[in-house]
Structure 1
Amino acid sequence: MTRQSAATLRARLVDQAASDLEENRRRQRELAEKIKLLKQEEAILVDILRLAEKYEGLAEASLLSEQAPKKPAPAEAKSRRTAASTPPKETSRQPLLGDLLLSLLGAHEEPRPAKELRDELLERHPDRSPTPQVVRNTLESLVAKGRIRRHKQQRSVKYTLTASA
């Protein structure tokens, strides 16, 4: 190898190293920006989960009131007056959807998808008819509270009880 070819090779290697270094720095800047965006998204999602937990009971109560048939105003006023004059009756409350889903998950060892849990819920509790989205939201709320675990397998999501539950 001649001195000139060695010098040419060295120059090419130095240029390549400088180019690689610049590419690495550019990629680091890109990744730092992505990390910054992901942290912002995480903060937003954490806030949403906190709000969902805070208003979970309120949302279920408002859904029940929306599903109740609307009474005309005079009938509503009359029912308020009679309710105020009669002693309160024992009302049988239905168990919360989250509690029902926890009991269904407890009956199985293996992870279960939300669809199967909803189907089993409809079978065992025909008086309940939550939408698939309500079941998924309730399951995700239980995940956020640490009562169940989420298992992702490609595009499939399954749930199991945590050891503490």
Structure 2
Amino acid sequence: MTSRSTATLRSRLVDQAASDLEDNRRRQRELTERLAILQQEEALLTDILKLAQRYESFAAPSRLPEQSQDDPVVDRPRRTSAANERRPLLGDLLLELLGEHDEPCSARELRDGLLEKHPDRRPTPQVVRNTLESLVAKGRIRRDKQRRSVMYTLSPSQTAA
């Protein structure tokens, strides 16, 4: 190698190193800015979490404004939890409907019966089929195929119960 080609190579390497160094510094600045943004987002989310926890403590049953300090605290149950406790499971309703029939029923017939007896319940046909298949898997009902139709009946153990 000649001294001229060595100088040219050295010059290229120095230029490349300077360019790489500048790229690294630019990337470090970008990452530092991104880190600062993420830290701000974390602080914001932490504040939101604290506010949500504080709100939960406010949402607990408390004295009504018109109550005096000596009056007892009225503890009202939440509507959502009370409604969930009173609502029977879909599987139980389907078992009840099957028990009312002497002959096998299709998923459509069971859904129609459910909609008639429980108008507040509006499960999709797929949800009814899935629930019926779950009951089959648990051995609580039997599934029989009649041509292209699938019919359901109570299993003998359920009939005895």
| TM superposition score normalised by structure 2 | 0.51
**Which segments of structure 1 move beyond 6 Å, counting only runs of 4 or more?**
73-77
Equivalence map 1:85-96=2 (5 Å): 85=62, 87=75, 89=77, 91-92=82-83, 93=85, 94-96=87-89
Instruction: Give RMSD over aligned pairs.
Output: 2.6
Which ranges of structure 1 fall in alignment gaps of 5 or more residues?
A: 1-72
CA distance in structure 2 between the partners assigned to 1:158 and 1:76 by the alignment? 50
**Structure 1 pair 124–82 and aligned structure 2 pair: CA distance change class (3 A):** same
Number of residue pairs matched by the alignment: 93
Mark the runs of 5 or more structure 2 residues left unpaired by the alignment. Answer: 1-48, 63-73
Q: Percent identity over the alignment?
A: 63
Q: Which has the larger radius of gyration?
A: 2
In the TM superposition, residue 83 of structure 1 has moved relative to its aligned partner by 2.8
SS in 2 for 1:143: helix
CA deviation string 1:104-153 (max 9, x = no partner): 00000100000010011011101000000000000000000000000101
- The residue correspondences of 1:95-110 to structure 2 (distance < 5 A) are 95-110=88-103
Separation of aligned partners in 2, 1:130 and 1:114: 12
Deviation at 1:155, TM superposition (A): 1.1
**In the alignment, which residue of structure 1 is the partner of 2:58?**
81
- For 2:57 and 2:112, locate their aligned partners in 1 and report how far apart those are by CA, in whole Å: 38
What's the CA shift for 1:76?
9.6
| Cross-structure match for 1:37 | none
Residue identity in the other structure for 2:153:
T
